[in-house]
Amino acid sequence: NAGVTQTPKFQVLKTGQSMTLQCAQDMNHEYMSWYRQDPGMGLRLIHYSVGAGITDQGEVPNGYNVSRSTTEDFPLRLLSAAPSQTSVYFCASSYLSEAFFGQGTRLTVV
């Protein structure tokens, strides 16, 4: 039982490049979320999903796209990376009131 798996763990992008952060969970949870963690700001919600085909915006959605085609996967796409998107990204799946987080992807945009 792997829980929530994020890939890659580290990534360096050039400004303007695109990439997809992968997230997969094996707990059969309907709800999944993406957060970014920045020093002194805690974790901020980017997008979330309450089931396959259903997504919604969080607090900081600009510059990011998501889709949810299966219960297991919830990828986060950066269409044109900017230095302001340098951060640690966490994916979470949740059941009732508890969220289970992956180990994070550290992204640097230069």
Q: Does 41 bind other proteins (CB under 8 A)?
A: yes
Question: Taking the complex as a whole, how short is the minimal distance between the CB of residue 14 and other proteins, in angstroms?
Answer: 25
CA dist., res. 102 & res. 2, Å (int): 10
What gap in Å lies between CA 76 and CA 19, rounded to an integer? 8
What residues between 50 and 109 interact with other proteins by CB under 8 A? 50, 58-59, 90, 92, 94-99, 101-104
Nearest one of 58, 106, 109, 59 to 83, comparing CA atoms: 109
| CB of 85 or CB of 104, closer to other proteins | 104
Residue 32 contacts other proteins per CB under 8 A: yes
